Amino acid sequence: MFPAVRVGLLVLAFAACSPGSTFEYRPPAGARSVVFIERGSTPMEVEVRAFDVTASATWGSQTGDDALLVALYYDRALEELVIPAGFVDLATDGWPLPPPTAREVLRPGGLSDADTTKLIGAIRVARPPCGSWTIKSVDLMRKFRASVAVPLGDGVLFVTTAEDVPPAAYLVEGDGTLTTVPGLTGRSSVARPLAFVDEGVATVLWGDPLEPRYLAFRTVDAELNVSEERITTTATDAVSEPTNIVARRVGDRRTVLIRNIDTSIARLDEASGLWTRVIDHDPLGLCAGRTHPSHILELDDLTTGYAGFLNGPIRRFDLSNADTPLVRGADLISNNEIYCTSQRTVLPDGTDVALVTSVGVLGQQPGVVHWRPVGGAWATVTLGSEPLGGDVIASSGDDILIGNDGRGLAYFDYDPRRPDVAPRACGPIVLPMEVLTMVVRDEKVFVFGTGAEGFAILSRAPR
């Protein structure tokens, strides 16, 4: 007989003197673990016990013969299911039991099959606690804006801009050591940098609102060697206040795309240095707010990818079809949905997590997080108590960090062992900045933004 215990906050212990029964059970072929659910005379008297099994075994029940007793069989070990062996703690904020491979009702306890299914579905198993983070602040002694940061060598290259101060570039290492990168600047304090990394070399592009046709590249390698400036030119209306850039290499060929403030897209002919618009977009609509709204721009290969549009969907594109590059019926998240901002990150197991904002009757709405497990459908993540206001998302392992306007970050976690359970809101990470960009290097998260005199390096405590 197993000893009686109190499980969780909602469960009462069975009396040790209750009449009981001993069952012989034989798991079905292929079963590696079993979870017993036993309900006493009242709905509160529910106990859950779990065991790894390899053969037949004897199990003792502590309730009468009229009590419900169900066995759930799994083809995975308890560790893989994230269920502890023995008595299982329950919690109101836990996660449901995984769908079993097979189910056996050893005693119906007066419940119908539908009621038994409902009871099992209501059980919440206590899940591992959220992680914790340490924060290292790096002070630059002046307020600045850093919206561009990319991995380079063993560190992160970032570029700062500030009013009436020439732009500056730095390389920061994981311990916070800063190195100035001279010569990697634009022509004026209002120049806006963009950057990407290809084959270990960072390329920084400078645009200047005062000179719309001025777009210049400089490259910098891991040894901080900066190239001479290369000027590119634009076809008529091809580039207008660029907001982000993306590149993709396949062998010795490379595609470079730039997004304009109206979310139209231009492509660079690297041989001639000429930008040509390849995707047009009419941004008219109800979205408002950020001067440079953030939208998905991704390349899967040299010609295909996804692009989010202001007052538009997140649409698949194929540049090999020059006349109609946008592919209808293959939108990300939901076909023909209208978004004001959009960003996404992909977790190590391939799970998608996307952050979007839309417009409603009261204007632009707070951020919404959607997720899609591998092979599954998109669903909405339950957020914390405070609405999300940012449009920046990154992931470090299975941890998800979302910029939340001037309040720092919102932290979510995900367990790939339970792909049936959505990411969980773990709470805020308070930082004195509006987060504009993040870079993940070796389990450290470098967080940059505006409104502060420095930036932050986050490290996840061991699990």
Domain ranges of the chain: 21-125
Three-state DSSP state, 172? strand
Q: Residue 183: in which H helix or E strand, if any?
A: none
Strand partners, 313: none
Question: Looking at residue 18, what is its pLDDT?
Answer: 43
Residue 351 banded pLDDT, cuts 50, 70, 90: very high
* Contact residues for 14 (Cβ-Cβ < 8 A; gap 6+): 4, 38, 40, 45, 47, 62, 63
Confidence of residue 13 (pLDDT cuts 50, 70, 90): very low
- Per-residue pLDDT of 209-225, as tens digits, reads 666 666 888 999 999 99
Higher pLDDT pick, 256 / 261: 256
- Selection from 298, 231, 241, 301 nearest residue 268 by Cα: 231
> Could you give the CA distance from residue 125 to residue 10 in angstroms, rounded to a whole number?
11
Question: Lowest mean pLDDT: which of 53-67, 114-128, 262-276, 354-368?
Answer: 53-67
pLDDT at residue number 208: 64
Other CB atoms within 10 A of residue 4 CB? 16
37-74 residue pLDDT tens: 988 766 567 889 999 886 545 555 555 567 888 999 99
- Residue 1: which pLDDT band, with cuts at 50, 70 and 90? very low
Q: Is 283 left (phi over 0), alpha (psi -120 to 50) or beta?
A: alpha
**Residue 8 pLDDT > 50, yes or no?**
no
* Residues in Cβ contact with 313 at an 8 Å cutoff, skipping those fewer than 6 apart: 331, 332, 334, 335, 336, 337, 338, 339
**Coil, strand or helix at 118:** helix
Q: What is the pLDDT of residue 366?
A: 80
Q: For 364-370, what is the mean pLDDT?
A: 84
* Cα(93)–Cα(81) distance, integer angstroms: 17
Q: Which of 220-234, 245-259, 326-340, 351-365 has the lowest mean pLDDT?
A: 351-365
Burial class of 292 by CB neighbour count within 10 A (0 to 12, 13 to 18, 19+): middle
Measured between alpha carbons, how far is residue 185 from residues 82, 194, 226, 252, 302 in Å?
50, 11, 10, 28, 29
Residue in this structure with the two tokens 């408002």, named with its chain if needed: 288
Contact 156, 438 (CB under 8 A): no
The predicted pLDDT at position 22 comes to 62
Q: How confident is the model at residue 188 (pLDDT cuts 50, 70, 90)?
A: low
Say which residues have a Cβ less than 8 Å from residue 344's Cβ, sequence separation at least 6: 296, 332, 352, 353, 354, 355, 393
Percentage, residues of the chain above pLDDT 70: 84
**Average pLDDT taken over every residue of the chain:** 84
The span from the CA of 110 to the CA of 118, in Å, is 14
Asked if residue 349 lies in contact with residue 417, where contact means CB atoms within 8 angstroms, the answer is no
What's the pLDDT tens digit per position in 282-333? 877 777 655 556 899 999 999 999 999 988 899 999 999 999 999 999 999 9
pLDDT classification of 14: cutoffs 50, 70, 90: very low
CA distance 439 to 147: 11
Strand order in the sheet with 297-299: 297-299, 304-308, 314-318, 326-327
DSSP string across 265-276:
EEEEETTTTEEE
- Residue pair 316/326 in contact (Cβ under 8 Å)? The answer is yes
With beta carbons less than 8 A apart as the criterion, state whether 121 and 71 touch.
no
Segment 104-132 shows an average pLDDT of: 91
Residue 187: pLDDT above 70? no
- Token pair for residue 197? 């990394």
118-129: buried (b, 16+ CB within 10 Å) or exposed (e) per residue?
A: ebbeebbbbbee
Structure tokens at 300: 């899967």
Range ranked top by mean pLDDT from 232-241, 280-289, 346-355: 346-355
